[in-house]
Chain A
Amino acid sequence: MDYYLSVATFAALNVILALGLNLISGFCGQVSLGHAAFYGLGAYGAALCSVAGLPMGLSVAVGMMVAGAFGILTGFAALRVREDFLAIVTMGVGFLFLGAVRKQAWLGAEMGIAKIPSPLDKWGYAMLAIGGAVALLLLSLHVRRSWMGRAFGAVAQDEDAARSIGIDVSGYKIAAFFIGTAAAGLAGGIYAHMTQLIVPDAFNFVQSVTILAMVVVGGIGSTLGVVAGAVLLTLMPEMFRFINDYKLLVYGGLLLAVMRFSPEGLAGLVHRWTGRRLA
């Protein structure tokens, strides 16, 4: 039972991460290859607070704010560069985070942070993660329906045209980065308390690519598709152990296959087979 609970918890955390990235990349059209850095920022922020004696709820909130604040900084980068260059910049943010954390004694350097207080049991974390995933799912569906979602769509499709009809492109990009990275921070905070030990490598480039693969496989821009993608890519390595050893290879191949055969991911397949568009 414990095993299933922990798989469910990780699936839910991945849903939070993937939906956060989908807000940035799918809704607002801004590429990000460094999403794991914000997951890490949330985890480190929350862990430090918790070790210092703050209650878990507050620690997780601080982690979210730390991730969101750095997300806003990254958003400012997105005001200056687009597309391929933004991909490189966000990838750089990921490496910068890793490089910095590894060298900081107060962040535990390579050893990470251990003995993080863990006030909940397995059920508690599973419920918390699933609750967070559901909240983010509802938020995503709401954003899509709201005027924010329509403005995101305009920014994603043509920034210059969006400006000329009075849309504050910069404001929307920063908003997307803030919401998406704060969500990653939430996942990080829950993860840190659950595992009680965090190390820099948990938030490396492979993790960023994994989150991206969940979004792309599910169908970039489609909330339900991305949820399916996140769950599927969490379960796959569990069911087939060998995938774990060749994660980057398998995900890379999967990304290529999706780009080649169904650029809109699972959501695109559903649309093709049933004629219905997923939300």
Chain B
Amino acid sequence: MLEGRDLSIAFGGVRAVAGVNLRVERGELAGLIGPNGAGKTTLLRLLTGVLAPDSGSVRFEGRDVTQMPIHRRAQLGFVLTHQIVRPFRDMTVLDNVMVAAATQVTLRPWRALVSVDTRPARLRAQALLARLGIADAADKPARSVPLGYLKRMQVARALALEPRLLMLDEPLAGLNYTEAARFADLIAQLNAEGITIVLVEHNLGEVTRIARRLLVLHNGAVLAEGVPRDVMARHDVRDAYLGADQDAVAHA
């Protein structure tokens, strides 16, 4: 469904992502992990088009989208959520989701100018808020609701685009233990309903619990790939997380 070929980008002298190849199959829930500075977020930005790669290409459902702007990718069903929640702060929670639910109408500015009917978008947005359990905050301004709500709102906004591939950048960051577990369950459930999901996450406990395949990134390259249990058992993966010196210390 998604294929990144030989993706590279350098910032100054730093090769943040160096020749990464990856494939995401339809219907899977893949976790992208790696220690801080491994290049996870950069890779995600290359895949979603926030950054243009120095070399390599991105294909979504067989078509080359390397040069395609973000909003066009989103319209195709290739949607990302940001690491830091980015609500439209002065809009209500409901309005935030409504704008996303109306992409067919807002596709062309001139068509948007002559469209005033908000009912279909409102109904869909309300259903999504109910589905994510945040209907009670619908009419509150986004700037005044807590982070847990905003995280859910962000997913509601992404779902309003009817994504086929959802890329979540650290959706569990900032949530407490129970919230994170519940949110992870929600992600697994969305996947079970047919949305392909790529998850960049630091919370290894949750990601190994729900992902069926892990991809470990280290120093801008793919270090390991496979079933979570096998991947996490590998020495090189542990070294990458803990620092290679740990072993040296242990052996000394």
Contact = CB atoms under 8 A, between A and B. Distances in A.
A139 B105 CA distance: 19
A254 interface: no
A143 B113 contact: yes
Nearest to A157: B88
A16 to B, nearest CB: 19
10 contacts: A146-B115, A150-B102, A160-B82, A164-B74, A165-B71, A165-B99, A165-B157, A165-B158, A166-B71, A168-B69
A148 interface: yes
Given A151-B106, A163-B70, A164-B71, 20 more contacts: A146-B114, A146-B116, A147-B116, A147-B118, A148-B109, A150-B98, A150-B102, A150-B106, A151-B99, A153-B91, A154-B91, A157-B88, A157-B89, A161-B82, A161-B88, A163-B71, A163-B74, A166-B75, A167-B99, A170-B69
Contact of A167 (B98, B103, B114): B103
Contacts of B244: none
Nearest to B73: A166
A172 interface: yes
A164 B107 contact: no
Nearest to A171: B109
B110 interface: yes
A168 B102 contact: no
B81 interface: yes
B112 A154 contact: no
Contacts of B161: 165-166
Interface string B71-99: 10011000111100011111100010011
Contact of A154 (B80, B88, B108): B88
A166 B112 contact: no
A171 B108 contact: yes
Given A145-B116, A167-B71, A154 B99 contact: yes
Nearest to A163: B70
Q: Which residue, A148, A158, A162, A169, has most C-beta atoms of chain B within 10 A?
A: A148
Contact of B99 (A142, A143, A150, A160): A150
B100 interface: yes
Contacts of B48: 164
Contacts of A162: 71, 88, 99
Q: Which residue, B80, B112, B158, has most C-beta atoms of chain A within 10 A?
A: B112
Interface in A192-242: none
Kindly state the interface size class of chain B when it binds its partner: 35 or more
Interface of B: 48, 50, 69-71, 74-75, 79-82, 86-91, 95, 98-100, 102-103, 105-110, 112-116, 118, 157-158, 160-161
Q: Which residue, B50, B99, B115, B157, has most C-beta atoms of chain A within 10 A?
A: B99
Given A146-B114, A163-B69, A171-B108, A158 B86 contact: yes
Contacts of A148: 106, 109, 112-113, 115
B105 A147 contact: yes
Contacts of A160: 50, 82, 86
A46 interface: no
Interface in A27-46: none
Contacts of B81: 164
Q: Which residue, B48, B69, B79, B100, has most C-beta atoms of chain A within 10 A?
A: B100
A152 to B, nearest CB: 9
Contacts of B158: 165
Contacts of A21: none
Nearest to A175: B109
Contacts of B157: 165
Q: Which residue, B89, B106, B113, B114, has most C-beta atoms of chain A within 10 A?
A: B106
Contacts of B115: 146-148
B70 A164 contact: yes
